Amino acid sequence: MFGLGGTSLSQTTISFIKEVRPAGFIIMGENYESPEQIHDLCVDLQTISKEPLLIGVDQEGGRVARLKEPFIKIPKASLIGEKNSPKWTFDLYHALGKELRSVGINLDFAPVCDILTNPKNKVIGDRSFSSDLKIVESLTSASVRGLQKAGVIACAKHYPGHGDTLEDSHESLPHVKTQLKTLESRELAAFKKAIKSGVETIMTAHLMCDALDKDMPTTLSVKALQKLRKDLRFSGLIISDDMNMGAISEVQMEEDALYLAVEAGIDLLLYCDPLHDHHKKVFEYLYKKTEKDSSFLKKLQESYKRLQKIKDEYLVDPLPPKDAWKNIVGSQEHSVISFCHHEEPEKATW
């Protein structure tokens, strides 16, 4: 799953889709001008592709919201946590899901399931619902159900928990030294709740978690992802955080990281950069690897089955109605839902 440049479909992206057939694209702030424009871009992407595309966005709320007004303004998670109303949280994310789906976006990289156990953690900080597990569990469940009832795939992140770190994984590799017993009763419990609530995808964190694997960051760790599959019983799609991030590039060369991520159990590799020449190299490396390694090919085929299962459920009709967004995005009904939040916009720190 890749980033793309500009606010409209370029000939370069058209050729790339036809040649590589990616799983989908992530919409970044630079790709957005207006609801109509993003609607047209999503329609063009789906029309060109022979298979339905996942079209995702980081729309958590607060300082991480790629789509600005008139889209519904979701408060930062810490404020939602202070209110601690599962019903209101469900309504917020259900409204958000309807708006996203009306313009053609079918995957939201939300909610953040991280428990803010380190108050000095600025990377997660107010992106977390709370330092209280029960609040995080309850609001995670509400937001997952709200998004998916609206037909938008939710993504619980960042497994196994990014709340007890200081370092920014966009720049370097964070290290979590939490004991396994504590991790299971705290951080992993939040992901268990998301799984029980039916979350379709989980995003891995690029961090070292000694309790799970002392040698490999989670995204590249067989042990950590087997824990997610077997102990937490997650059967959905495991998505990597952006593979361009410093936490990965500082510990592995790109080709090695690709191989190790797939071997570990990552189903969907995420690259947020818009450089299709780079994306082709990623694809070519994976393709060449399958020609020499049948077990590697089998892993990719297993991931593809999981991907298709989600597409079959959520993307039977990936095209949004032509003008539906006009009555949905920023509607009076949605404004009423978010009326209690009147903060000034916050600038994203990443």
Instruction: Give the integer Cα–Cα distance in Å for 219 and 221.
Output: 6
Backbone φ and ψ of 222, nearest 5° = -60, -45
pLDDT for 344: 44
Q: Which domains does the chain have, with CATH numbers?
A: 11-333 (3.20.20.300)
Sequence-distant (6+) residues with CB within 8 A of 73 are 61, 65, 338, 341
Residues of the chain with pLDDT under 70: 121, 163-172, 247, 249-251, 340-350
pTM of the model: 0.94
The predicted structure's pLDDT at residue 132: 95
User: What's the confidence (pLDDT) of residue 350?
Assistant: 46
Number of CB atoms found within 10 A of residue 294's CB: 8
Q: What is the pLDDT of residue 341?
A: 52
**Cα separation of 150 and 200, whole Å?**
13
Torsion sign, CA atoms 59, 61, 66, 69: positive
- Catalytic one of 168, 241, 242, 267: 241
Strands 64-65 and 59-61: antiparallel
Tokens 């990014």 label which residue? 162
Catalytic status, residue 40: no
Structure tokens at 175: 């290290």
Inter-CA distances, 275 with 12, 244, 279, Å: 10, 12, 6
Bridge partner residues of 208 (DSSP):
175
Phi first, then psi: give them for residue 204, nearest 5 degrees. -85, 150
Long-range Cβ contacts of 45-50 (<8 Å, 24+ apart): 45/9, 45/13, 45/17, 45/104, 46/104, 46/318, 46/319, 47/319, 48/9, 48/14, 48/17, 48/18, 49/17, 49/21, 50/21
User: Quick one: tokens of 151?
Assistant: 């037909």
Q: Is 288 left (phi over 0), alpha (psi -120 to 50) or beta?
A: alpha
Rg from Cα positions in the chain: 19
277 annotated active-site: no
